[in-house]
């Protein structure tokens, strides 16, 4: 048995209304990205995991410049928290937490200098509830 759609205009109106409602509700999700300036992942290593991850190699005592970008750009000032963890006994332990104020461009730099060698990762969090986190930036300090 074949049924014909009797009100195609009504279906179109519902689809358009749903699209407008999604756009008005802020359908563009907030994203936080972070990268290590002047470096790219070169070596694979693991910290008690079942698989090896790519790490950027840097010399001990080198100042790391973590570049954080928030999109879409926030309309008012907010705080971003950057957490650095180090691999100790096959698991990661927090070694540093820093905060920065997000400016008009949505992009800024956070500096960190590791005091020891080993495997590290950094992650940035923005917002209060729910938090939006960046991917992990992995560093092997030699």
pLDDT one digit per residue (tens) for the chain, 142 residues: 555 545 555 444 554 454 444 444 455 787 888 888 877 778 888 888 778 888 888 888 888 888 888 888 887 777 888 999 999 998 999 999 988 887 778 888 888 898 899 999 999 888 776 578 888 888 999 8
Residue 113 domain flag: yes
| Parent domain of 40 | 29-141
- Euclidean distance between the first and final Cα of the chain, in Å? 72
Could you tell me which residues come within 8 angstroms of residue 33 by beta carbon, excluding any fewer than 6 positions away? 68, 69, 71, 134, 135
Residue 86 domain flag: yes
What whole-number distance in Å separates Cα of residue 51 and Cα of residue 71? Answer: 31
Question: For position 133, which CATH number holds?
Answer: 2.60.40.1930
DSSP state of 42: -
Residue 134 domain flag: yes
What whole-number distance in Å separates Cα of residue 70 and Cα of residue 80? Answer: 9
Quote the pTM value: 0.73
Could you tell me which residues come within 8 angstroms of residue 20 by beta carbon, excluding any fewer than 6 positions away? none
Residue 9 domain flag: no
Residue 112 domain flag: yes
Residue 72 domain flag: yes
């Amino acid at each position: 048995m074949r049924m014909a759609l009797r009100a195609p205009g009504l279906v179109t109106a519902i689809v358009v209304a749903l699209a407008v409602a999604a756009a008005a509700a802020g359908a563009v999700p907030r994203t936080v990205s972070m990268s290590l300036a002047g470096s790219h992942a070169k070596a694979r290593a693991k910290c008690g995991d079942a698989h090896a991850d790519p790490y950027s190699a840097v010399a001990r005592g080198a100042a790391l410049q973590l570049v954080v970008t928030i999109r879409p750009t926030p309309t008012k000032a907010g705080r971003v928290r950057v957490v650095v963890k180090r691999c100790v006994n096959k698991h990661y332990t927090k070694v540093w937490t820093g905060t920065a104020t997000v400016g008009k461009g949505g992009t800024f730099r956070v500096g960190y200098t590791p005091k020891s060698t080993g495997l590290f990762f950094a992650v940035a969090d923005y917002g209060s509830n729910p938090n939006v986190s960046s991917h992990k930036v992995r560093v092997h300090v030699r």
